[in-house]
Structure 1
Amino acid sequence: MLKMDLIRENAFWAVEELEAGLKQPLTVLQRETLLTRLSTYLRIAAISSLLADADTSAFKRCLRQSATARRDLLAGAYSRSDASPGRFVCASHVEPLFDALAAGEAGLAQEIARYSPRQWSEKDEFEDDFRYADFLHELLLAGTQGLSVGAERALAAFQQCSADSGSTRLAVCEALASADQEAFDLALEELLVERAREFKDAGVPSHPERFHTERHIFVEGLALLRLAEGRQLRTHPEYKMLPRLAR
């Protein structure tokens, strides 16, 4: 098993290499590839810093930088309105959005939501993944105004796509939409059970650094807690894979 301090060291080295690469002349696809990888390694750096040294400052800083890389990727694609979005622009690449929320960067999360596509890219992403992301984007853009028309539309489309599958993420979204405390508690608990099961049944990981960090800290769950609090729902100080230190 990889040691956490070695994972952290390797992640920061990868970040430096990717940042250097981004300063070179690049095609659009090359730039989007590097920015996507940069977000991944910044998330690994964030979690490994927290686990190795309880470094909450590095945790939040790296998550913020991951989200910033995603914002920059999307802003570039948004400015090319006449171009077909590539596979890295798909709305379902939602991990950096969770990074922003987990770092407490609500404004940055809203920027990601604003620049994210509103159309499902059928050839590049699963529909239920897109619908989940689309609802969260609309919820963020509504801010404190309650459930917007856009969020209601996105939730209805998610329900139509996934209602028969017993989707736990759909249950989370429905609970957030209705600000239903009991429903949110149940859905979050089921999501945490599913997450633990995914790692237990994973077999040999294709990306060991991600596996050995994300099995301990569930950034998506941290983000959902932020969204729940924004909907005036109560949360506990600590959950499995969502430690107090990360909040």
Structure 2
Amino acid sequence: MSQMDVFRENARFAISELRDGLHEPLTSEQQQKLLYLLSGHHRVAGICTLLTEADVPGFRQELVRSAEARIQLLKLGAGQPPTHVQATSHVGSFFDAIAAGADALALEIARLSPVRWLGGEEWEEDFRYARFLHVLLLEGLRPSPEVETALSAFQHADEGGERPSPRRLLCEAFFSREQKAFDLAFDDLLHERELEALEREKSGPLSHPARHHTEKHVFIEGLALLHLAHSCGLKTRPEYPMVPGIARR
């Protein structure tokens, strides 16, 4: 049995256990934590399905289930202050929905996600990045005043570094529809991702080995960003590192 087969079987076992757990009498926050974990295991199972069997429908089905779990999570505790796992910067399932072509689910996640930064629970630049993409989708991918306001807030939050982050540059390219800016920013993001993966492997035992070893082969965020780029009228190449063309068909 290959490593990916092991990861997939472990993810499926965890999914079964978590779904059983959701039938137990739990508080809203306990349910949210289980649903948060459930999304992550569906993502791992989906990537393993793609890598071991080239099963694109099976891959997308798992990503859809991740997004559905996120929507269920966001609906819990209505009227109460958002919890840590409900923070907008937890964008994994949002990207899962877009990568799976489930735009209606991505829109629902955008609608349900907190619109204010949870200062003690997330980095501001992470929130502003997610919020920009949410607003962009909610505005029909048009460069509206609302999208411009969200972009300005992200630019302000991202001012601390020596140079703009690749994600900020990508968001600027989505707004301006500037092809060259998009190409350069996306390549920079992939390079940054590769370096991060190498650093994790050098730093000692991995805290989430299944997530690391699957997502270093299939970068779901990158897949989702290419989908958004295409929808914005930008051109993309057939193949990129960590974003296999088969996953985009």
Q: Match of 1:125, as an amino acid?
A: E
Shift of residue 171 of structure 1?
0.5
CA distance in 2, matches of 1:42, 1:185: 30
| Residue 229 (structure 2) pairs with residue 228 (structure 1) | yes
Which digits, 9 at most, give the CA deviation of each residue in 1:151-183, with x for residues without a partner? 111110111111342211101100111111110
189, 192, 203: which one aligns with 2:190: 192
2:90 paired with 1:93: yes
> Are 1:183 and 2:184 an aligned pair?
no
Distance in 2 (alpha carbons) for counterparts of 1:40 and 1:19: 13
Q: Is the 8 A contact 1:49 1:59 kept in 2?
A: yes
- The residue aligned with 2:71 is 71
> How far 1:150 sits from its partner (Å)?
2.0
Contact between 2:32 and 2:76, CA under 8 Å: does it hold in 1?
no
For residues 86 and 164 of structure 1, what CA distance do their matches in structure 2 show?
A: 27
TM-score by length of 2: 0.95
Between the aligned residues of both structures, percent identity stands at 48
Q: Is 2:107 the partner of 1:110?
A: yes
SS of the residue aligned with 1:163? coil
Aligned to 2:145: 149
Answer yes or no: is the 8 Å Cα contact 2:50–2:58 preserved in 1: yes
**8 Å Cα contact 1:138-1:148 kept in structure 2:** no
Q: C-alpha distance in 2, partners of 1:37/1:94?
A: 13
What residue number does 2:17 align with?
Answer: 17
Q: Displacement, 1:71? A: 1.0
Aligned-CA RMSD value: 1.1
1:163 matches 2:159:
yes
| Number of aligned residue pairs | 242
**Alignment match, 1:206:** 207
Q: Secondary structure at the residue paired with 2:159?
A: helix
Structure 2: unaligned runs, 5 residues or longer: none
CA distance in 2, matches of 1:103, 1:26: 30
Note the C-alpha offset of 1:61: 0.2
- After TM superposition, give the deviation of residue 112 of structure 1 in Å: 0.3
Q: Does 1:34 align with 2:31?
A: no
Map of 1:239 onto structure 2: 240
Structure 1 length as normaliser, TM-score? Answer: 0.95
Which consecutive segments of 4 or more residues in structure 1 shift more than 4 A? none
- Please give the alpha-carbon distance, in whole angstroms, between the structure 1 residues aligned to 2:68 and 2:52: 24
